[in-house]
Chain A
Amino acid sequence: MSAFLETLIGGLLAGTMYSLVAIGFVLIYKASGVFNYAQGSLLLFAALTFATLTDQGAPFIVALAVTIAALVVVAVAIERLLLRPLANRSPMTLFMATLGLSYIVEGTAQGVMGSQIRALDIGLEDRPIFLGDILISQFDLVAAGVAVVLVGALSLMFDRTRIGISLRAVADDTRAALSIGVDINHIWRIVWAVAGLVGLVAGLLWGSRQGVQFSLSLVVLKALPVLIIGGFTSIIGSIVGGLIVGAAEALAETYLGPLLGGGITPWFAYVLALIFLFIRPAGLFGERQIERV
């Protein structure tokens, strides 16, 4: 029983890391209807910038400030050079554009800062602790705490600030928001910057665990099933989806894996997502799409 619990809890905690990546997606999808495939690349860019700066001897705070500034600049550039020219184009065109964007960001970031693997130390030790007789990774615990704080901060921003309210207005009805004078381009800039910040947090956590390298951008592929299960439009959904995917992956690898020869983690989450798609295409917390002819 305790082995089962240990697997379950480990999986749930690992799932919060997926949620962190998925939240960045949801923010952008809600505000601009863009399925941002470049979220993983932005995460890599953020972690790489931070790691390069600390390698050069910059103190933590300075590195963090410069990275955040860089993310804001990137968000402004994306809004000006990509989103604005592609306004009113089909969602699929926008998706393909973000695929192109991910190539630009990855190519440039790695070309300028190098593609070798870097260690990233943010002062977190990956030491397991015992809870009764259950082994829990301390690192995962911190990551889960960060995810909770982040979600709290984001919901405060959405509910209490002027920007958050205009953002919800844009997500709800873009045309109505425009007609009452919401500056949509400004909203896009802010949302992409905030998504970049969420990416930075996720990138620092993932990066300090597995090193900062190209494969970091592949966490985008981990976040997709989470989005399908939780729904594209819900932050709570991405948390719940992350937990489901994390737990299901861990349990499947432990109990189902040996039957299938092991190593099923890369595709199991996708199969799970497909099953969800058949049953509930909008995801657990997503909004149903109504189409008019």
Chain B
Amino acid sequence: MSDIAARGAPRLLARDPARKPLWLAAAVIGALLVAALPLVASEYWLDAIVAPFLILSLAGLGLNLLTGYAGQLSLGSGAFMMVGAYAFFAFALRAPELPAPLALIAAGLISGATGLLFGLPASRIKGFYLIVSTLATQFFFGWLFLKFPWFYDGASSGTIALPHALSLFGVDLGGARGRYYVVLVVVAALTALAVNLVRGQTGRNWMAVRDMDTAAAVVGVPTGKARLQAFAVSSFILGVAGVLWAFAYLGSASVQSFDLTRSYQILFIIIIGGLGTIRGAYFGAAFVSLLPLALDWLSQRLFAGHVDAGLLQNFQKAIFGVLIVWFLIREPEGLARLLQRLVDALGARFFHPRS
């Protein structure tokens, strides 16, 4: 992980204070734009493209804290999302008096506790041994939630769906706009939390563990604690993302909604977007949600829909693989770095023109 490490943190510190107003203005304009999006975008866009993009960004953010910042590779993101979704379902079904926002947080906490439990081996092992520990989560929960009808309330299809349309923070989740705002608020709040964590002592400990844990331990960083923290926080965020994915996007979910493919997808989001950056999760999620649409559109235009759907899917898979390898070779900091370079180049051109 050391090769992506060195560059991320110092840049954060050395940010030019003179550029701050520019960033602030951009952030305010961006916030206004996303808040006003439902006025211009159709319900289809909000429901089928914007909402999943935001939720995947959140999931990517969760994994990025663990993998990009703390250097602990995980293939169990899908499982932690699954735990969150099933926990929320259990609350909605068996404790309907619990307000939905609290149930959302509680579901996240349960997922976080699960992450803590399955992260315990990380205190003794590291690197790709962790793959096994996190894959164990994936298979164990896939089995658990299918095996015992209690978890899916005995539905014959084995899927979970909320008994009645939900309202969260007083917003009705029945409509696309309501869902959009709920997702937006949750994603924004957790992003703020993540930014604060990684800029503080916690984040510094994580990065120290990632860059060289032996050295970190020697200088007194509590490496074991830092790893477990990363697992807990990451799984909390993933759990919340799972709740949103199941009930604010899909409507009804099953174990298959959170299988190993989902875990891969979220890992791809952070590789393409940028390991060890907050905004990378957004860029990666945008890319991962838009690429299939773009390929679909392209094949419609070029071959007028004569391409077999299975072939297209395989083609898409290969393209993802090529992109992953390309990004790892050429730009381990992903789209976040590429865009940064673009912005810097444009900034240099327009704000500091050479004489």
Which residues on A are within 8 Å of B, measured CB to CB? Answer: 35, 81-82, 85-86, 89-93, 95-97, 99-108, 110-111, 115, 221, 224-225, 228, 260-264, 266-267, 270-271, 273-274, 277-278, 281, 291-293
Interface residues of B in 318-349 (CB under 8 A from A): 318-325, 328-329, 332
Q: How far is the CA of A292 from the CA of B142 in the complex (A)?
A: 39
CB-based contact A277/B318 at 8 Å: no
- Selected interface stretch from B18-26, B57-65, B128-136, B296-304: B128-136
Interface centre among B129, B212, B214, B271 (most CB of A within 10 A): B129
What residues of chain B lie closer than 8 Å to A278, measured between beta carbons?
121, 124
CB-based contact A97/B324 at 8 Å: yes
Interface residues of B in 126-160 (CB under 8 A from A): 127-129, 131-133, 135-136, 139-140, 142-143, 147-148
- Selected interface stretch from B108-116, B223-231, B309-317: B309-317
CB-based contact B328/A97 at 8 Å: yes
What residues of chain B lie closer than 8 Å to A225, measured between beta carbons?
132
What residues of chain A lie closer than 8 Å to B328, measured between beta carbons?
86, 89, 93, 96-97, 100
Which residues on B are within 8 Å of A, measured CB to CB? Answer: 1-4, 71, 73, 121, 124-125, 127-129, 131-133, 135-136, 139-140, 142-143, 147-148, 212, 214-215, 218, 260, 264, 267, 271, 310-311, 314-325, 328-329, 332
Q: How far is the CA of A277 from the CA of B129 in the complex (A)?
A: 8
CB-based contact B314/A99 at 8 Å: no
The secondary structure that dominates the A interface is helix
CB-based contact B131/A104 at 8 Å: no
Q: How far is the CA of A274 from the CA of B76 in the complex (A)?
A: 15
CB-based contact A103/B267 at 8 Å: no
CB-based contact A89/B310 at 8 Å: no
What residues of chain A lie closer than 8 Å to B125, measured between beta carbons?
277, 281
CB distance from A42 to the nearest CB of B (A): 13
What residues of chain B lie closer than 8 Å to A92, measured between beta carbons?
1, 71, 73, 127-128
CB-based contact A100/B322 at 8 Å: yes
CB-based contact A228/B143 at 8 Å: no
Contacts A35-B128, A104-B321, A277-B133 hold; do A264 and B271 have CB atoms under 8 A apart? no
Contacts A90-B2, A100-B328, A115-B314 hold; do A95 and B140 have CB atoms under 8 A apart? no
Say which residue of B2, B3, B127, B139 sits within 8 Å of A270 (CB atoms): B139
CB-based contact B329/A274 at 8 Å: no
Contacts A91-B128, A224-B132, A293-B212 hold; do A270 and B318 have CB atoms under 8 A apart? no
- Interface contacts beyond A100-B323, A228-B129: sample of 8 additional A-B pairs, CB < 8 Å, sorted by A: A35-B131, A82-B329, A96-B267, A96-B271, A99-B264, A99-B267, A104-B322, A224-B132
CB-based contact B124/A277 at 8 Å: yes
Nearest B residue to A229, CB-CB: B132
Q: List 18 A-B contacts (CB under 8 A).
A: A95-B128, A97-B324, A102-B321, A103-B324, A106-B317, A107-B317, A107-B321, A228-B132, A260-B147, A261-B148, A263-B143, A270-B132, A274-B133, A274-B136, A277-B125, A277-B129, A278-B121, A293-B214
Nearest B residue to A94, CB-CB: B328
CB distance from A105 to the nearest CB of B (A): 8
Q: How far is the CA of A221 from the CA of B332 in the complex (A)?
A: 26
CB-based contact B215/A270 at 8 Å: no
What residues of chain A lie closer than 8 Å to B140, measured between beta carbons?
267, 270-271
Nearest A residue to B5, CB-CB: A90
What residues of chain A lie closer than 8 Å to B142, measured between beta carbons?
266-267
Q: How far is the CA of A216 from the CA of B337 in the complex (A)?
A: 37
Contacts A96-B328, A264-B143, A267-B139 hold; do A89 and B3 have CB atoms under 8 A apart? yes
